[in-house]
Structure 1
C-alpha cells in the first residue's frame, strides 16, 4: 500500500519521551520493542490488520535503566531475549518470558553507540563513545577483545555473519569517513582501513550474509554504496553505488522472508526522507535465481532458559524457493 497516510492515522504512542530505537521481533511478526528517553523499554503487539486506533498500552513495560535508553536489539537465535543499552552506560538483557532483566553488562565507560551480534548470538560487539570497540561474551559480560581506536573513531559496528570478522564505520583523524575491517579474535589492529569520502554524516553499515554484500549508507546524503566481502585480501571489493538526490535520515530493512524472490530481490531498504515526510522502498535486484541460499527463518533455535544456561545454537534456516512464481 503506497500513497499519503491520513494525518490522523493511528500511532503507537505510549512512551512519555522521544522514542530512540525500535526493532521488530525476528520470530513473531507483530511484536515491536521500543526504547525511549523516558528510561523504559516497551513491547508492543500490533493487532491483525494493523492499528485501528492509537495504541497506548504496551504488552510489557520494562524498567531497569536509570537514564534514557538509546538502543534495543533482539537476540538472533533465542526467543524472547532482548538487549537494551542506556545512557547509564549499561546493557541489560531482558527475559521477556518473565518480564525482568536477567543480566547486566557493565564494561562501558560512556554511551554505547551500536550493538551487533554474531550469527548464533554467542558474541556481542559494541561501539562506544569512549572510542573503544569491544567484543563481549554477553552472558558473563566478559570483554574478550577490546580495541582503542586512535586513528579511527568508531561509530557503528556490524558482525560479518559467521566469517569471524567485524566491520566498523567511523571517522579518521582527518575527519574523513572511513571503514575498518577487524578479526574478532584480535582487535589489536584492523585488517584494513579504507577512506570513503569527506562528508560528515554517519555511515550506516548493513551486511547480507547470504550474498556476502556490504551496503554503506550515509546519513544526510542519498547514496548507498555496495561492496562484496571476500575471505582473502583485499577483503573488500567495491561494486557500485545507488545514487539519489534525496537525503536519507535513516534506513530500515525488510527481513529476508519478506523479499519478492520472484523479482530476484536480494535486499530491500526503507529510506526515511524527512524533508518530504516520506518513506521510500529501495529494492536491490540481481537478475539471477541461484542467489537464495537457506537463510535464518522465523523459528527460534533456543528458549530463554536454554540460552541463559550457556547453550549456543545456529539459526534455524528456511528456504526462500517457495517465492519463485
Structure 2
C-alpha cells in the first residue's frame, strides 16, 4: 500500500455505510455466470440486474425508488437467446439500456418511464452479424450520441452507430480474447486489455494502435483498465506470484508504469470504478467482501490509499451510480449497488461535514445528459468534451438559493445618527410626542415626612429590564451617587418607621441605620480605554452596592416579621389580632407642586435608562460582559 502521509485533501475522510434494510432489493435471483462482469447497471431512474434464467438470457429492471421485496414473477427484459454477459445504461437517456450476450448480439432496449409493467422481448435496435463469438463487453461513447463499442471473444472490437444499426469500424489488432475495453474522457481513444497480457491504446476511428505495453501485469489472470480524465490509464491485474496489483500509466508512453503497487493476495478479479469529477478510483473484487478507494493526484505516489469498506458477505457484482444520482444533501460522493445471491444492497460513501449547506468543493460540474456531438459529427472526425451540468441544479427545489451579493440596495445598518451629548433621549412614547424639555437639574433629597408606610407593606417593583441602545457620553458616576443619596434617605425613613413601630409594640431594639457609602474620589484623566473601564467598574460597583443594601434591608425586615409571628404563636394571650393604629398622613406643604415632582421623577427615570444602555454598550465594546 502507498504511504498515508499528512497531505491536504478533502477526501482524506470518506466513509462507506451500508444503507438500512428497507432500502434493499430482495427476492432477486442474481445470475451465477462465471463470466468476469459486474452484472449490474444503475442510473438515477432504474436499477438493472442480470438474473438467472433457464433457456435464454434476461435481466431485471426496477425503478430506483421501489425498494423492498420483488414479486415472484416480475416483468423482465427477455430477448436474448443465451445468457446476458454485460448491460450498460445510455449516458444521455435514462430509459435506454444496451445488453450483450453469448448469442453474439447486442440489443438496445427502451424502458417505459414508470418501469416495466410486462416483459419486453422486442428490442429497439439489434446489432448483430459482425461478432462471430460471444460478446462480453459494451461501452457507450461519453460525448457522442448513439455511438457504442463492443468487444467479443472473437478478438474483435466493433464501433457501432446504434441509430442505423451499422458498424462504423472493426478493430482486429488483438491476438486473443479481450478482458476489458473503455473510452477516454472525450472518446478520442480507447484502452483494451487482452489475454496476451498486452495493454493497448487505440484510435477508435481508424483502429491504429497508438501505444502498447506487453506484460503490463505478469500474471495470467484477467486484467482490467480504465481511462482517467487527465489521459492516464489505471489498470488492475496480477503479478507472477498471483498477487493483485494496480498500476498507473501514461497513455502516450507505456514503456514503464508511473506507479505499480501490490494490493493483496486473492483470486478474485478486481473491477476499477472511476469518478472523473473527484478523481477517485474504487476497487471492488468479485468474491471480495470489501471496496477499496483511492485518490489519484499529480504528486507522488500519485495513487493515495484512503480507506476501505468491509462487509461480511462477498459480492457477486457491483453497480456504480452516476454523480447525477447521488444525494448531495447528505454529502454523498458515490453509491454502489452490491449484488448478493438473492438481493441487492446499496452502499453509500459520504464525506462528513459540520455544515448542512451545499458543499461546492465536493460536487464540481459533472457530465450532463446533453450529448456534445451527434453520431454523424463524430464519424466526420469532430471531437468534444462531454457537456457539464451543476449538481446544485438537480436540487434547486430543496437547497437554499445562493445569496446575491451584488445589486443589494439597502441602507447601511451601521450608519446611525450621532446624538448630541446634552440631549438625552427617552423611550416614553408620550414624551417623545411632546416638545423637548431641557435636562432636569439635580434635585435634593425628598422632604422628610412624619411617617411612611412599613417596608413590608410598600410594593416593591422588580428590577427594570436593561435595554440596549445608544445614549449620551456623560459620566454616570454623578447619577449613581445621586441615586445612592436618595436610597439612603428612603432607608432612614424606613428605619425611623420601624423604630416607632417597635416602641408601640414594646419589642425589639433599634437597629442602627446603615452608613452611607463614602463617595469615591474622581479619577485622574487617563487613556480612553482605561478610563472607560474604570468608569464601568465604578458604575457597576455602585449599582451592586445599591442592590446589596436593598437585599440586606429586605432580609432584616423578613427576619423581624418572622420573629414577631413566632412570639405571637408562643404566647396564646398575645395571639389575638389587634387593630393597627392608623398611620398619620404626611403633611404636605400647601405650595407643593406634584406635577413638577412627577416630571423630575420621569426625567430621572429616563436618565437612568440611558446610562444603563450606555453601560451595556461599553461592555459590549470592551468585551467585559457578564
* Fold shared per TM-score above 0.5: yes
1:67-216 equivalences in 2 (<5 Å):
67-149=133-215, 151-153=217-219, 155-161=223-229, 163-216=230-283
Tell me, which stretches of 5 or more residues in structure 1 are unaligned? Answer: none
What are the within-5 Å matches in structure 2 for residues 6-85 of structure 1?
A: 6-63=71-128, 64-85=130-151
Q: Any idea what the Cα deviations from partners look like across 1:63-109, whole Å, max 9, x if unmatched? A: 12111111111000000001111111111111112111121111111
2:382 counterpart of 1:314:
no
C-alpha RMSD of matched pairs (Å): 1.1
For the residues of structure 2 that align with 1:41 and 1:28, how far apart are their CA atoms?
18
Confirm or deny: 8 A CA contact 2:199 2:216 kept in the other structure: no
Other structure's SS at 1:139 match? coil
CA contact (8 A) 2:235 2:247 kept: yes
Deviations 1:14-64 (A, max 9, x none): 100000110000001100100000011000001120111111111111112
SS of the aligned residue for 2:376 comes to helix
Instruction: Confirm or deny: 8 A CA contact 2:185 2:231 kept in the other structure.
Output: no
- After superposition, the C-alpha distances for 1:124-170 in whole angstroms (9 at most, x for unaligned) are 00011111100001001010010101653461001111x22111000
160 and 21 in structure 1: CA distance in 2 versus 1, 3 angstrom threshold: same
Checking the alignment, whether the CA contact within 8 Å between 1:182 and 1:191 is kept in structure 2 is: yes
Bigger proportion of residues as helix: 2
CA distance in 1, matches of 2:217, 2:295: 24
Q: Larger % of strand: which?
A: 1
Aligned equivalents of 1:229, 1:220: Cα separation in 2: 25
Residue 152 of structure 1 contacts residue 178 of structure 1 at CA under 8 Å; is this kept in 2?
no
Query: Quick check: which has more Rg, 1 or 2?
Result: 2
**Conservation of the 8 A alpha-carbon contact between 1:115 and 1:124:** yes
Return the alpha-carbon distance in structure 2 between the equivalents of residues 95 and 104 of structure 1: 12
1:124 to 1:159, Cα distance in 2 relative to 1, 3 A: same
SS, match of residue 170 in structure 1: strand
Q: CA deviation at 1:287?
A: 2.6
Deviation at 1:208, TM superposition (A): 1.0
Q: Deviations over 1:286-305 (max 9, x none)?
A: 13512110111111000111
Normalised TM-score (structure 2) = 0.51
Give the total of aligned pairs: 322
Q: CA deviation at 1:3?
A: 1.3
